[in-house]
Amino acid sequence: MYKSWDELKTACEGCRKCGLCETRHNVVVGVGNPNAEVMFIGEGPGENEDIQGEPFVGRAGKLLDKMLLAVDLERGKNIYIANIVKCRPPQNRDPKPEEQEQCIDWLREQVRLIRPKIIVCLGRIAAQRIIDPDLKITRDHGKWFQKGGILMMPMLHPAALLRDPRRKPEAFEDFLALREKIYEVCEHTYPIGMI
């Protein structure tokens, strides 16, 4: 249990709990407002994230930022973004179950400190780890789930949208549904007067 963000960040940056620490350049802890009511969780850092030490800074990240902005959400302003694993899996392979298991306590601590009202899981890996191991992302994206008093929604991963841009409209529907839910349950994500 960490008392402050600084303490958590320093400990996470020194983590050597799994083999991914051998090949990483940076531990990608997370980015955004630690008082956010809405948290996004991706899978794990890719090459650009590993180099820059920040989640979603590559092509998929640029697309994510665009979709976020369309519903008035911005990293560094009114959301927080983290990943299931904090270090890059080599060749961008899926993080192994044992790597996820070793890393998940960092995310638990982040959620404990942020206490978000809404968690959005980006892609299958995050959705299955956080919401339900049997979840099917193509079938279940955009649906709301509730766990431990937190509302959760799986979304299509932005990298999947880059591979298949025909799915962008359905992904955007999910962002609109997210905005509606934020209006409903969040108090300070959107400035007063915007509703």
Among 27, 30, 39, 46, which residue sits at the site for ligand URA (rule: CB under 6 A)? 46
- Find the binding residues for ligand URA in span 120-149 (CB under 6 A): 122
Calpha distance 56→30 (Å, rounded)? 10
The single residue listed with the structure tokens 């841009």 is 165
Per CB under 6 A, the list member of 37, 43, 99, 174 interacting with ligand URA is 43
Rule CB under 6 A: say whether 95 interacts with ligand URA.
no
CB of 58 to ligand URA, least distance (A): 6
For ligand URA, which residue of 30, 32, 45, 95 counts as binding (CB under 6 A)? 45
Q: Which of 81/182 has CB closer to ligand URA?
A: 81
Hey, which residues does 155 pair with through a beta bridge? Answer: 122
Q: Which residues pair with 32 in a beta bridge?
A: 80
CA 96 to chain centroid: 18
Q: Which two tokens stand for residue 1?
A: 């249990």
**Residues 2 to 41: which contact ligand URA by CB under 6 A?**
none
Of the two residues 56 and 106, which places its CB atom closer to ligand URA in the complex?
A: 56
Taking the C-alpha atoms of residue 62 and residue 72, their distance in angstroms, rounded to an integer, is 15
Rule CB under 6 A: choose which of 32, 55, 89, 154 binds ligand URA: 55
C-alpha span between 23 and 175 (Å, rounded): 35
Q: For residue 26, with 0-12 CB atoms within 10 Å meaning exposed, 13-18 middle and 19 or more buried, which class applies?
A: middle
Q: Which residue has the tokens 């992302």?
A: 137
Q: Is 154 one of the binding residues for ligand URA (CB under 6 A)?
A: no
Residues near ligand URA (CB under 6 A):
42-46, 49, 55-56, 60-61, 83, 122, 159
